[in-house]
Amino acid sequence: MRIAILGGSGRMGSALALRLANAGHHVLVGSRDARRACETAGLLGPAVSGGAPLEGALLRDAAAAADVVVVAVPDAGHAAVLRQVASALRGRVVLDCCVCRDPRDPGTWRRPAEGSAAARARRLAPRSAAVAAALHTVGAESLRRPGRHTPGDVLVAADGAAAREAAGLVASALGLRWWEAGDLGVAGSLEQMACMLSRLSARHGAPAPTIRLHGLERAARDGPGPRADLAAVAQRGGGM
Ligand SMILES: NC(=O)c1ccc[n+]([C@@H]2O[C@H](COP(=O)([O-])OP(=O)(O)OC[C@H]3O[C@@H](n4cnc5c(N)ncnc54)[C@H](OP(=O)(O)O)[C@@H]3O)[C@@H](O)[C@H]2O)c1
């Protein structure tokens, strides 16, 4: 699957890029600056085993070349980035992990007018794009050093089955369990949960608190995650 990471030069984006490339996906590190995109890809490349391509590109080019477009930019630039790439999102799955925080107090959620960053992405993306919200409560540090941090579960909110399935595939590629949380209307709650984890982290000095659901193990055994394979999702592309 070709996965573009908008904000791929950042903490979350670069951690996602590395993990997804190591899971065998073709990753496009998207940046506002072509040189920064290529430098980041160059830095991450040597840590990728298995030969999956990892390359840098400007935001719009990265989105245009991908099946799934992960939005990993801060709230401050979120709307501008979505507007910039909007026409390249036709028929793509947009996977948004942006948390709208109060910049002066990262433990406090700042509700956007649409209710969540993902709902804003839904408003700005073309109708043919599918939108999911996920990964808010997965810290970049826990992706970079999975051995040192307990991997959390991923809660997915989506505007339909295709987006939900693609988000689940990404979570699975990261080695994480994922659960359907509901439609995009619950994305704001996922953002609030991420802010709550930040508050707990600050209060207790725990670098990467995560969320793990218990009581659903039977469902996990029965296969909560994706039923389609990665190739099928990539193949469907625009039809998703
Ligand atoms: N860090 C985490 O652990 C974590 C976990 C879950 C979710 N998230 C979410 O992921 C997103 C990124 O977080 P982060 O910690 O990775 O942030 P970050 O490192 O500060 O920024 C990520 C990238 O976004 C781009 N960017 C920064 N400011 C921008 C602006 N005003 N307009 C457009 N692009 C801008 C930059 O890329 P270029 O300059 O190269 O374009 C930057 O490298 C946030 O929405 C955050 O809530 C983060």
The rounded distance, in Å, linking the Cα atoms of 102 and 109 is: 6
Question: Is the pLDDT confidence value at 113 over 90?
Answer: yes
Q: In the prediction, which pLDDT does 230 show?
A: 40
From the alpha carbon of 140, which atom of ligand 1 is closest? 3
Contact 109, 70 (CB under 8 A): no
User: pTM above 0.85?
Assistant: yes
Distance 9 CA to ligand 1 centre (A): 8
| Residue in this structure with the two tokens 């599918």, named with its chain if needed | 130
44 pocket-lining for ligand 1 (C-beta < 6 Å): no
Distance 118 CA to ligand 1 centre (A): 15
13 pocket-lining for ligand 1 (C-beta < 6 Å): yes
What are the backbone angles phi and psi of residue 174, rounded to the nearest 5°?
-80, -5
Q: Are strands 130-133 and 154-158 parallel, antiparallel or unpaired?
A: antiparallel
- What token pair was written down for 200? 């707990």
pLDDT digits 0-9 by tens, 14-41: 999 999 999 999 999 999 999 999 999 9
Distance 23 CA to ligand 1 centre (A): 22
Distance 240 CA to ligand 1 centre (A): 26
Domains and CATH numbers, the chain: 2-239 (3.40.50.720)
pLDDT digits 0-9 by tens, 189-203: 999 999 999 999 999
pLDDT digits 0-9 by tens, 28-76: 999 999 999 999 999 999 999 998 999 999 999 999 999 999 999 999 9
Cα 187 versus chain centre, distance? 13
**Which of 84, 158, 80 lies closest to 118 in space, CA to CA?**
158
The rounded distance, in Å, linking the Cα atoms of 205 and 198 is: 10
The rounded distance, in Å, linking the Cα atoms of 36 and 42 is: 10
pLDDT digits 0-9 by tens, 201-214: 999 998 888 999 98
